[in-house]
Amino acid sequence: MHSTIGILGGMGPLATVDFVTKIIRQTPASRDQDHVPLLIHSVPQIPDRTACLMEGRESPLAALSQGLNTLVTAGAGCIAIPCNTAHYWHPDLAKISPVPILHIARACAEQLSANGVSRVGLMATDGTLKAGFYGDALGQYGIELVEHSALLQQRVMEGIYRVKSGALHAGARLLEDCLQQFLDSGVERVILGCTEIPLALDSIQSPLGAYGVDATDALARACIAWYQAQQDQAVAA
């Protein structure tokens, strides 16, 4: 199996760049050759995932499948998708993929479990909440996902779309306020379950970021762990 990781991105473009940066920064490397080999497919024209789930608009599955095939044909031995909502189609993609596809919610749940966290909130798009895969993944580790109000969710969505539109600072301040409201509800940690959220909070160096669990970061760690396992197998062989 090839040890190159394919990144099925573009959802959105800034989030894809942020994800790649996280992989690079977390890789234990002392030279270029120690880094994880990556193939990046960043196509922002993939139909909107939340609009599909919430409003019945065009499904992104065909575009996601095309991107997956492009990466596999190019030599990817594993796939990572730095978009939370797109994981609604993870089962469909896994059925047609000849290589493993890492799951962002499972990576996040494993990290939370390892840190002894048992009660969390979730900041994510309407589509991700409706899809329900975070609740499923967390439940497998005995972690409670606490629901929040519709008004707070509306503000989360407003912050996310401000970031996507390029209003990074304004979106970051709004999302920081939302994060504070989550913490005030009594949860131990808040999953930052949309790739734009940690990017925004980092841009203003929010002190509340310490209470958030960056799902993108968890996926990056899973990528590195997969690559290192491939390297260990190659040495053992």
Phi, psi of 31 (to 5 degrees): -155, 165
DSSP secondary structure code for residue 87 in this structure: G
CA 13 to chain centre: 13
Active-site residue (options: 78, 108, 178, 194): 194
Active-site residue (options: 83, 108, 178, 223): 83
108 is catalytic: no
83 is catalytic: yes
Cβ contacts of residue 161 below 8 Å, gap of 6+? 171
| H helices present in 56-149, as ranges | 61-73, 90-96, 104-114, 126-131, 133-139
Measured CA to CA, the distance from residue 155 to residue 132 in angstroms comes to 20
Catalytic residues: 83, 194
